Amino acid sequence: IPDGLSYADAAATQIAFGTAFHMLFTRGRLAVGETVLINSVGSGIGSAAVQLAAMSGARIIGTSSGDDKLAAATKLGMHHGINYTKQDIVEEVMRITDGAGAHLTYEHVGGDLFTAGLHSLGKDGRLVTCGGHSGEVVPVDMIPLFRMQWQIIGSFTYTKGEYETVLQMVAEGKLKPLVDSEVPLEDIRKAFERMESRGHFGKIVVVP
């Protein structure tokens, strides 16, 4: 851990930024000027992806179930927010992009958000995914998949080099780990209750 970096910030960096870096750049091949749709921007890896995508010069569209989380993500560099409890994701993405769709969808939720993220892509679009807690089995219509030449890309964790890169970027102040709260180990039930309430923004850190 670099000098001056707290244990809590280091803990909030590892999975969040390591995974997001691997997904966006190594697997998703996000390029300067591209439009990226990031699902669930209030989560640890979602908020990390917003920061990394903003640094890369991408146009960022984010989704969340809460307007407060969208507002927080806007401060991190998100350009357009979609509250999927009130708005249709695909319709909004197409409206924002004038019908062109996103170049890349950053997906880690599964279920309906996976499907919406896939259909928010433009031609030759890419969807990179690393999770499916809201639905591990999703329907895929093969017709638009091959007609639009979409790519579905799996992503799993990160490399040692990628982790060292994001850790150094945090130490230099280029990235900011988002610690929603620190909870003592004896109160770990409260950490799980806060996670289940979906009220957190960033990582919940358990302190032994």
Model confidence band, residue 198 (pLDDT cutoffs 50, 70, 90): confident
CA distance linking residue 93 with residue 115, whole number of Å: 13
| C-alpha distances in Å from residue 172, one per residue of 93, 166, 169, 176 | 34, 10, 5, 10
CA 144 to chain centre: 24
Q: How confident is the model at residue 47 (pLDDT cuts 50, 70, 90)?
A: very high
Average pLDDT over residues 76-87: 97
Q: How far apart are CA 65 and CA 51, in angstroms?
A: 19
Residue 101 has pLDDT above 90, yes or no: yes
Whole-angstrom CA distances from 37 to 57, 90, 93, 109, 172 are: 14, 10, 8, 13, 27
* Average pLDDT over every residue of 14-31: 97
Cβ-based neighbours of 21, under 8 Å, separated by 6 or more: 52, 158, 162, 165, 166
Q: Residue 202: pLDDT above 90?
A: no
Cα–Cα distance, 178 to 201 (Å, whole number): 7
Counting residues of the chain whose pLDDT is more than 90, the rounded percentage is 91
Average pLDDT over residues 163-190: 94
| pLDDT score, position 17 | 96
Q: How confident is the model at residue 200 (pLDDT cuts 50, 70, 90)?
A: confident
- Per-residue pLDDT tens digits for 120-150: 999 999 999 999 989 999 999 999 999 999 9
